[in-house]
Amino acid sequence: MNTSRRRFLTGTGAVVASGLAGCTGALGGGDGGATDTDAAEEYEVGHGDYQTTVSASSFPEKLYVYAVQSNWSNWPALMQAFEQQYGVPLNDDDRSSGEALKHMRSHAQNPDHSAYNGGYTYGIIAKNEGFLTGYKPKNWDKVPEKLKTDDGQMTATRRMTTAVTYRADVYEERGLDAPTTWDDLLHPDVAKDMALQTPTAAVGLACALSINNARGGSLDDLQPVIDYYKQLKENGAEFTDNFQAQFTKGEYATFVRYDYSGLNLKYNDEAIAEDKVDVALLKGKNGNKGAFNQPYGYGLIEGAPNPEACKLFMDYVLSKEGQRKFLDAYVRPIRAPELEMPDEFPDQSVYDETEFQVDYGKLVEKQQGIIDEIERSAGL
């Protein structure tokens, strides 16, 4: 699939209120893609035993789903398309996975969001704590077995891989080679204006697990990443979640997030020239893999408001149309095997050499302890 430079992403502009609620039939097209049909105000949603009919008369003025937000995963495109087809705008929820879980806990007796969306393991924790309820959206059967729960409480919608994005022009000016290992980022001329996030956010946890694995650690041995973070801080690196604008201006020359973050910035952002941005997936000196593959997904919240509109939105996200909108920003959708991938992704051989997964069940059990130990011991 050939893609043009700086492709236009539907939905990066203002969301247009279309008032089209009730003007579309069921999510059709066989796989669940939205299609204009007639003026019916009811929609067939769900998979298997969860199939049901929802009515537009029950739809809210605004739908609240955790971490569906601007500047992340190309959510604006999905938000705009959903509103145009069904007349339901989504709240722009600027929140991390960890913040969403914390908010769910504080609002357990009176939930004000319809669904959790975010890092998959954070969602499993929410499930285990009783915050979620079962719903299998259309195309649930297309999701890999290991990335969904049998009871329909959590379903993965996309996957991302930890990567380093760097200013190729700044590296050249400083005489720095393109990074290939995590040790390369410890160089004082790299670390001095580098940004990364703490493990309380899913993207920050993925970064920590990537470094730890690359340096020989495990879920039971976090000392490698703790030592690494201490050295990074000594060399000037900052732990912050606000860095893209500074990166574009050249105030940061390196940041750690996901492959999609850098690829989207390189190929879709007019604020910076394409040739100034490069993306690298890293490993350890000894060949250990250093690019954690992090699944993201969603689950319906028990007792939450507006479940009918939320089910329709969840169906849309897992439809081919919704999945392609992730791909427009280089977010790897969970149904990627059914779609053509953009040429701009690093070669699959690079992923094969660097990408790894963990026992997600074990990670769920240990996750909070891992986060607490890294933050405490590394002084984050």
Token pair for 29: 């097209």
| Domains annotated on the chain, with CATH | 58-159+295-338 (3.40.190.10), 160-293+345-378 (3.40.190.10)
DSSP states of 327-338: HHTT-EETTGGG
Residue closest to 365 by CA, chosen among 164, 101, 121: 121
pLDDT at position 34, please?
41
14-19 — which CB contacts under 8 Å span 24+ positions?
Answer: 15/76, 15/79, 15/80, 15/83, 15/89, 16/80, 16/83, 16/84, 17/83, 17/87, 17/89, 18/83, 18/84, 18/85, 18/87, 19/87
Residues 96, 312: Cα–Cα separation, whole Å: 23
AA letter at 238 = E
Cα–Cα distances (Å) from 232 to 58, 99, 172, 256, 372, in that order, read 52, 25, 21, 13, 19
Long-range contacts of 356-359 (CB under 8 A, 24+ apart): 356/213, 356/289, 356/290, 356/291, 356/292, 356/293, 357/292, 357/293, 358/209, 358/219, 358/292, 359/219
Q: What is the pLDDT of residue 29?
A: 40
Residues 275-307 have pLDDT tens digits of 999 999 999 988 899 999 989 999 999 999 999
Query: Which residue is associated with the tokens 């105000």?
Result: 41
CB-CB contact of 17 with 89 (8 Å): yes
Number of alpha carbons in the 13 Å side-chain half-sphere of residue 36 = 5
Give the model's pLDDT for residue 16. Answer: 29
pLDDT digits (tens, 9 = 90+) for 161-196: 999 999 999 999 999 999 999 999 999 999 999 999
- Determine the length of the chain: 380
pLDDT, one tens digit for every residue, the chain (380 residues) = 333 334 434 333 333 232 223 333 444 444 544 444 334 599 999 999 999 999 999 999 999 999 999 888 899 999 999 999 999 999 999 998 989 999 999 999 999 999 999 999 999 999 999 999 999 999 999 999 999 999 999 999 999 999 999 999 999 999 999 999 999 999 999 999 999 999 998 889 999 999 999 999 999 999 999 999 999 999 999 998 878 889 999 899 999 999 999 999 999 989 999 999 999 999 998 889 999 998 999 999 999 999 999 999 999 999 999 999 999 999 999 999 999 888 898 888 999 999 998 988 899 899 899 999 999 999 98
Do the Cβ atoms of 19 and 311 come closer than 8 Å? Answer: no
Q: Residues 6 or more apart from 317 whose CB is under 8 A from it?
A: 78, 137, 157, 298, 323
- Residue 26's pLDDT is 44
Give residues with Cβ within 8 angstroms of 167, minimum separation 6: 247, 250, 253, 254, 276, 277
User: What is the residue type of 167?
Assistant: R
